[in-house]
Amino acid sequence: MPVAYRLRADMSRSINSLAKEVALDIENNRLDNSLKTIYRLVADIISEPLCTSNVFSSKVLDNLCQAIGNKNLQNIGYSPHPHPNVEGTKIFVYLVTKIQKSGGHTKLIEALINLRPDHKHLILSTELDGNSDITYINEKIAANPNISFERSPKKTDFAEKLTWLQSRLLSLNIAETYILNHHQDSVIIAAVQPQIKLNARFYHHGDHHLCLGVHLPIIHIDFHPMGYYNCRNILGVDNIYVPLTAPDKGKRPRQIGFKKDGLLTTCTAARSNKIEIPYFIDYCEVIPAMLQASGGKHIHIGKLTPWYIRRIKKNLQKLGVAEDRFIYIPYVASVWQALHEFKVDLYITSFPYGGGITLIEAMGAGVGIALHEHISSKILCCRELAFEQIFSWQNPKELIDYCAKVTPQQLQIQGDLARKHYDDFNSSDMLAKVILEEQTILPPPDCSAKFKPLLDELACLNASQINLFNLGKRSLYRLLKRLRAKAAW
């Protein structure tokens, strides 16, 4: 039976049924089938909003990936031997699914590399979720002689990608290996085998969906209190807390002031994957209503789909808000610097999915924050990354009223508190302290008691998604993701 049809049958039964089919594939050396089956299952789950921040890991799938990788090592003729001495020239290896110019994990890789600028760094990419941004790589990464980038050969199947990746790992004199896979990348999780002795660290950045690799028997690193306590207390992972950080690009110049012209300038930075998600409120409706009340302008940084932008403009028109008060910028090199450049008074965190790195950049930039409290998930609202006195909201009326009435003095106080929090908890010095001084272990902050889930809203939202129209939309979304990824296989 073809893999795709067998997968659908297994999903209708249980994960254990799927595991038996994959185990049979491994036994019969059909490793490409087994890797694709796991990839497709995870791709389906992470594209289902009902699973977001509810399903985080699977020991079964991780163990299957490890079994595939062990079998492939045998196929390529690997025999155990002493690991090379890494004294002298150290090579730090980063395993990724792809490199893109936007996104938190790309910035994390840059930060890790910057900690050791004089050492050699190699990024190995499976390209399983589309092609890496080669322009960005050539301009920002390959320009540094100490950094190399290699991607899996094109038009190869999953098993061939696994052989390529394991062969490269076996040929290198590795000091440390950092794993930053996309959720569904079965190849990377299969490649990382104990007998290769990679001194590996799993960086759990895909922490609000099911992610392969959570249960690998290696050092597991979480970046915020919500993820740390979830992995430790709920998933049973022996993990380490490393604070999420951003490089300091300067305090907000005092001469900028707040609401200089008497009008509020707000900003949100997020791509469509954090905005265009089924939720009980919609960004494309909330922002126009907020602009109507504030009389100011809103800057959106991050790529949105054309039809979503049309919805925003349509809602602006309905409310009589001039279209030029919504400023759309698909990409900026630095959100931090853009907040200063555009004299942003208030940063509105993305919703329904918050962004950790952008929140930290906004705090470091000395800008006040309006943080959305997710109706069911601490992880998705990022409150524990922010300062205690932050303004937060759940109902749009709370945000609209705040934006209509907030004073320059209140914004200045909030901006100063934000910057102090960044200095205390999220500066690059904090990352260096933990990564370079390996004896330094920072305790994560306690989780906030202020989180108030709206479970009745969640129930209503989930019920609304179980209809033919929304099921059809999600099926189309999954199909598009598969086609995009298949273009790189």
Higher pLDDT pick, 351 / 461? 351
Q: Is pLDDT above 60 for 85?
A: no
Beta bridge partners of 148: 122
Q: What is the pLDDT of residues 151-178, one digit of tens each?
A: 999 888 999 999 999 999 998 889 999 9
| Of 78-92, 173-187, 355-369, minimum mean pLDDT range | 78-92
Task: Give the pLDDT confidence score for residue 480 in this predicted structure.
Answer: 66
Question: Tens digit of pLDDT for each residue in 389-399?
Answer: 999 999 999 99
**pLDDT per position as a tens digit, 273-291:** 899 988 999 999 999 999 9
| Dist CA 128 CA 276 (whole Å) | 23
Is it the case that residue 420 has pLDDT exceeding 80? yes
Phi, psi of 266 (to 5 degrees): -110, 165
- Reply yes or no on whether the pLDDT at 213 is more than 80: yes
pLDDT of residue 467: 65
* Distance separating alpha carbons of residues 242 and 394, to the nearest angstrom: 29
pLDDT in tens, 99-143: 887 667 787 888 888 888 888 999 999 998 888 888 888 777 767
In the chain the domains, ranked by start, together with CATH numbers, are 1-222+456-489 (no CATH), 254-430 (3.40.50.2000)
Structure tokens at 239: 């993990």
Q: Which residue has the higher pLDDT, 240 or 447?
A: 240
Nearest to 242, CA basis, from 448, 437, 451: 437
Neighbours of 248 (CB within 10 A): 15
Grade residue 473 by pLDDT with cuts at 50, 70 and 90: low
Contacts of 484 (CB under 8 A, 6+ apart): 129, 130
Of residues 146 and 285, more confidently modeled: 285
Q: What is the pLDDT of residues 247-266, one digit of tens each?
A: 899 999 888 889 988 999 99
The percentage of residues in the chain with a pLDDT greater than 90, rounded to a whole number, is 55
What is the pTM (predicted TM-score) of this model?
Answer: 0.85
The three-state DSSP-derived secondary structure of 392-444 is EECCHHHHHHHHHHCCHHHHHHHHHHHHHHHHHHHCHHHHHHHHHCCCCCCCC
Q: Work out the average pLDDT over 317-323.
A: 97
Give the sign of the dihedral formed by CA 231, CA 233, CA 235, CA 238. positive
- Which residue type sits at 173? N
pLDDT of residue 267: 98
CA end-to-end distance (rounded Å), the chain: 21
Helices within 267-407 (DSSP H only): 272-275, 283-294, 306-318, 335-341, 356-364, 378-381, 396-405
Q: Residue 403 in contact with residue 294, Cβ under 8 Å? A: yes
Q: What pLDDT, on a 0 to 100 scale, did the predictor assign at position 169? A: 93
Amino acid at 196: I
For residue 475, CA distances in Å to 53, 118, 203, 253, 451 come to 20, 47, 30, 48, 33
- Write down the pLDDT at residue 138: 79
Pairwise CA distance, residues 423 & 250, whole Å: 11
pLDDT above 50 (res 84): no
Angle between helix 59-75 and helix 31-46 axes, rounded to 10 deg: 150
More confident residue, 437 or 287: 287
182-191, 384-393, 468-477: which range is least confident on average?
Answer: 468-477
Task: Quote the pLDDT of residue 1.
Answer: 39
Please give the Cα distance from 484 to 56 (Å, whole number): 24
383-417: b (≥16 Cβ within 10 Å) or e: bbbbbeebbbbbebeebbebbeebeeebbbebbeb
Residue 486 is predicted with a pLDDT of 58
The four Cα atoms 70, 74, 75, 77 give a dihedral, to 10 degrees, of 140
- The pLDDT, as a whole number, for residue 6 is 44
- Rounded mean pLDDT of the chain? 86
pLDDT in the model for residue 87: 44
Hey, what are 282's tokens?
Answer: 């919609």
Of 70-74, 83-87, 108-112, the least confident: 83-87
Q: Model confidence over 196-208: pLDDT tens digits?
A: 889 999 999 877 8
Q: What pLDDT is stored for residue 102 in this prediction?
A: 67
Q: What pLDDT digit, counting tens, does each position of 22-51 carry?
A: 999 999 999 999 999 999 899 888 888 788
pLDDT recorded at residue 4: 42
- Tell me the per-residue pLDDT of 323-349, one tens digit each, with 9 for 90 and over: 999 999 999 989 999 999 999 999 999
Q: What is the pLDDT of residue 100?
A: 80
Identify the pLDDT of residue 16.
85
Residue 483, pLDDT score = 65
User: What is the structure's pLDDT at 469?
Assistant: 61
Task: Tell me the C-alpha distance between 137 and 143, whole Å.
Answer: 8
What mean pLDDT is predicted for residues 90-101? Answer: 88
